[in-house]
Amino acid sequence: MWAAEAITRLDEEKARAGVTPLCEFPLPASWGVRLWFKDESTQPTGSLKHRLARALFADAIAAGRIVAGTTVVDATGGSMAIAQAYFARLLGLPYIAVMPTKSPGEGVEQLGGTCLHVDPPLAIYEHAARLARDVGGHYLDHYRSAATVGWRGGSLADELFEQVVECPHWIVVGAGTGATAAALGRRLRTDGLSGQLAVVDPENSAYFPGWVYGAPDYGTGMPSRIEGIGRPRMEPGFAADLVDLVIPVRDAASVAAARRVRQVTGSSVGPATGTNLWGALELITRMRAQGVRGEVVTLIGDAHPRHLRACHDDDWAESKGFDWRPHEEKLARLLEVNDADGR
């Protein structure tokens, strides 16, 4: 009975969450290219991780790995930990997020979850697995599970292809687990669509070199500084064969572009949304050089007030060594609105 009721609650929550909007990011009209952001920050917990967290709970409940009273554990911070804490509370389950000492645990405790800080950062996985075993709980292991949880039902890809008027020339996303990119890539393939999929990748991440060298086991061993995307190793959910291009993006450029998104939309987006914008603009520049017109779609991956004290804050950015100003100037020059464009 508990499992059936829990799945009903998840379904009801999904219906309440509804469809996230597709919003235009203004570009000079003369470019002949339109850029759209699917705004995942409008999810109830403010990020695209909300969808994956819901799917992970549903999957584990259906498989009998989460039952009434199971302590749910994962190795994660930021938006994923917040989304998981939200679903644990919805289902009345104890929740523990094991995260690196410097990771933002904010939001998890407000939702009734517990944060356990562990060092060094890459020890969180082993620690979370052991903790789940010790308390007889369930380790969600979202990086591994993301490769197998259902990607069709109500996914971001389903919504996006309902919303667009024509198939985008490029779809641009970052990769954390790789689940979002894989869902979009599968959809392009199975529907026989002409659009191409680009993954934007921050410094230190394994996805760019791993994709270039065709090395599924590639690892850098270095954590990404762009919350939500970039990994020290190629994750099993990253479907390299479905990706047409991986674009490396400098972290300082991601910070500058996230600020630009905030200037335009007013939303306190995280740095990964900046990575998305930077990569999308690189592709749009190529399209313009080739005389190609069309649409490009990317994501606002998350927005949260904590980002105001991080990538949108000059002192923070300086203290972390991000030299974002030259990138900010480059963006301003590129997007300079010419009166004749009428925008």
Ligand X SMILES: Cc1ncc(COP(=O)(O)O)c(C=O)c1O
Q: Which of 91, 253, 272, 284 binds ligand X (CB under 6 A)?
A: 272
Reduce the DSSP state of residue 220 to 3 states and report it: coil
Q: Which of 210, 234, 301, 324 binds ligand X (CB under 6 A)?
A: 301
- Cβ-in-10-Å burial (0-12, 13-18, 19+) of 299 comes to buried
- Measured in residues, the chain has a length of 343
Instruction: Name the residue number minimizing CB distance to ligand X.
Output: 301
Residue 146 and residue 180: Cα distance in Å, rounded? 9
Stretch binding ligand X (CB under 6 A), from 11-19, 23-31, 187-195, 269-277: 269-277
Residues near ligand X (CB under 6 A), total: 19
Of 173 and 206, the one with the shorter C-beta distance to ligand X is 173
Packing angle, helices 2-17 and 78-90, rounded to 10: 130
Q: Does 85 bind ligand X (CB under 6 A)?
A: no
Handedness of CA 45, 121, 125, 234 (dihedral sign): positive
Phi/psi for 318 (5° steps) reads -65, -45
Query: What separation, in Å, do the N-terminal and C-terminal C-alpha atoms of the chain show?
Result: 57
Cβ of residue 237: shortest distance to ligand X, in angstroms? Answer: 7
Give, as ranges, the residues between 159 and 218 that touch ligand X (CB under 6 A): 173-181
Cβ of residue 29: shortest distance to ligand X, in angstroms? Answer: 26
Site string for ligand X, 115-154 (x = CB under 6 A): ----------------------------------------
Stretch binding ligand X (CB under 6 A), from 3-11, 54-62, 147-155, 295-303: 295-303
Joined tokens for residue 174 = 């970052």
Cβ of residue 307: shortest distance to ligand X, in angstroms? Answer: 10
Of 6 and 181, the one with the shorter C-beta distance to ligand X is 181
Residue 50 and residue 294: Cα distance in Å, rounded? 30
Residue 313 and residue 271: Cα distance in Å, rounded? 12
Cβ of residue 177: shortest distance to ligand X, in angstroms? Answer: 3
Run of H or E including 39: strand 33-39
Q: Does 77 bind ligand X (CB under 6 A)?
A: no
- Residues forming contacts to ligand X in the complex (CB under 6 A) are 48, 173-181, 228-229, 270, 272-273, 276, 299, 301-302
